[in-house]
Structure 1
């Protein structure tokens, strides 16, 4: 049995770092293992312009502890007033690697998102022209649609029409949670799909059975076990359409354990150990490098990292239960099983 293996240093293609004290607390948890990450722009106020992205990148780099190596890959938050020329200039400069589409009201800090897709048509066409990917939070926000169906409905109502109307637009469907999402991404050219650590581990029973578990509540919400199994099959397949985007989303415990708790799982600390357990259980350790280190750079047209990490199996690895943010503790995702794979 494999007891140790080495892969290229991984990247995270969907990460929330927040700002201020929270940024300073959680950035080292990612930079310890990951070389690069696509940084989500849903701050308050959001990262809308190239100038905003440059300022946020500088704050991230200033928060990076001495001796750590990490490259933030910046994104812009798509609004109905986004300037196509500014997007193109930010892309040309190399500063911005993608634009993020949040349907208005879909998740944390998404109030500035898009309601009328006709108003962003020009931006999407410019992105297709310059080859800049669109990252989509793939859920409709129609209150008439059941929360467990919002991803599947988004594909039919929004994603497929947008792609057909904007030929050549490269799209990442982020944090896929359904077999519908897996099947759609696999069937498309110029498209990728990120899969989170926690959606490979939990289904909706983990959130609801035996009492509400707020630290398993996320958006998109975890679905039935059949969908989790479809995600595991996609992630472990080696298919280049799929790559790691943790959607690690820190909230202080006081806001998670609340009458109206925040959505998000904080997985940055232990993701690689969790993934090794998931891939080993699927008899697919040989494809972990593709999922975590190769497929994402290939989609974003970037070189894979030259550095490597080694994962070694042994006695259970202990991670902190919480990270202190300065504003309050942030609970680290608990996969519910022992972790035997250690990163070095």
Structure 2
């Protein structure tokens, strides 16, 4: 198979930032994806319906002329989130989900949740109306090893929440471990997970072996090779709980290359080429559409996209090393292997 046509994909986990950065990176997502769940961890965060409406309008004003790209907005869950505001935003279709960041777990998460008892009423209301909770699945306890934070989150936080609030629809975002994949696979219809392109191709050796490579540093951090293989198996299985969320997270090189560098990989330009390469290697190109285009809409109770994209296989594709923004250059994720699949058009 040298050409592959699939329904246009969606990105169920995306960082667009704001201002000049957003204007620079948005075209790369809008070129390939019809919709994207947009993360609310701006500074200050998107915490109210009004915040979400204003952010949506800024995104729409920045998208390329003629683009049909549609941002799907989220609210940042805090211990002060008001049920009335959240329900009103959901009822008019302004928001598609709510994002849970454990305080201190990742970029711009200082406003996140510390005491989960204080958000129980919000979560109960979300269960009543079927509004998904998107979780950054890591604890921020400094006593927990960074490579164990996902597993501990499932045991200490996620599983108790799901037992206490039956019917709460949850997406574990950017899973990185075999244990998380197993948990989601066995979790029933109310649980799903996104998997990133970069976690399908790198393990922790790519970050640390032979020298520190900050452009591979992300949160959750990449794990052992056995975990990467488990993620590939989950993604290429076509199973309904697993779908694409790029977690494409642009940071300027100046922010990445410092003593305390930012976490995130900018993958929007080459995600589809990476996915096609991975699925091709696994003999699973026939299941790429499920992962990239069908499973996500089904979980979010949205129709799949009507239009299509076509990828063709040939000589390796040359992607730019970085893109220029008014804030400074942003390095494009390097998968460390030739990518033979390109998006036509």
Tell me which stretches of 4 or more aligned residues in structure 1 moved more than 3 Å.
none
Matched, 1:161 2:165: no
How far 1:72 sits from its partner (Å)?
0.1
Residue number in structure 1 paired with 2:217: 217
Unaligned 5+ segments in structure 2 are: none
How far 1:319 sits from its partner (Å)?
1.2
TM-score of the superposed pair, with normalisation by structure 2 = 0.99
Following the alignment from structure 1 to structure 2, what is the Cα–Cα distance between the partners of residues 29 and 214?
22
How far 1:69 sits from its partner (Å)?
1.9
Matched, 1:142 2:141: yes
Matched, 1:297 2:297: yes
Corresponding pairs, count: 343
Give 3-state SS (helix, strand or coil) of 1:32's partner.
helix
Give 3-state SS (helix, strand or coil) of 1:264's partner.
coil
How far 1:65 sits from its partner (Å)?
1.4
How far 1:67 sits from its partner (Å)?
2.1
Give 3-state SS (helix, strand or coil) of 2:32's partner.
coil
Residue number in structure 2 paired with 1:37: 36
How far 1:316 sits from its partner (Å)?
1.2
Give 3-state SS (helix, strand or coil) of 1:172's partner.
strand
TM-score of the superposed pair, with normalisation by structure 1 = 0.99
Residue number in structure 2 paired with 1:74: 73
Following the alignment from structure 1 to structure 2, what is the Cα–Cα distance between the partners of residues 256 and 16?
16
Following the alignment from structure 1 to structure 2, what is the Cα–Cα distance between the partners of residues 92 and 166?
21
Give 3-state SS (helix, strand or coil) of 1:233's partner.
helix
How far 1:315 sits from its partner (Å)?
1.1
Matched, 1:170 2:164: no
Q: 1:42-66: per-residue Cα shift (whole Å, max 9, x none)?
A: 0000000010000000000000111
Matched, 1:310 2:310: yes
Matched, 1:128 2:127: yes
How far 1:268 sits from its partner (Å)?
0.3
Following the alignment from structure 2 to structure 1, what is the Cα–Cα distance between the partners of residues 89 and 165?
20
Residue number in structure 1 paired with 2:329: 329
Following the alignment from structure 2 to structure 1, what is the Cα–Cα distance between the partners of residues 270 and 67?
17
Give 3-state SS (helix, strand or coil) of 1:91's partner.
helix
Following the alignment from structure 1 to structure 2, what is the Cα–Cα distance between the partners of residues 166 and 301?
20
How far 1:284 sits from its partner (Å)?
0.4
| 1:92-241 equivalence runs, <5 A | 92-189=91-188, 190-241=190-241
Unaligned 5+ segments in structure 1 are: none
Give 3-state SS (helix, strand or coil) of 1:62's partner.
helix
Following the alignment from structure 2 to structure 1, what is the Cα–Cα distance between the partners of residues 230 and 198?
14
Following the alignment from structure 1 to structure 2, what is the Cα–Cα distance between the partners of residues 195 and 324?
27
Q: 1:263-319: per-residue Cα shift (whole Å, max 9, x none)?
A: 000000000001000001111000000000000000000000001000100111111
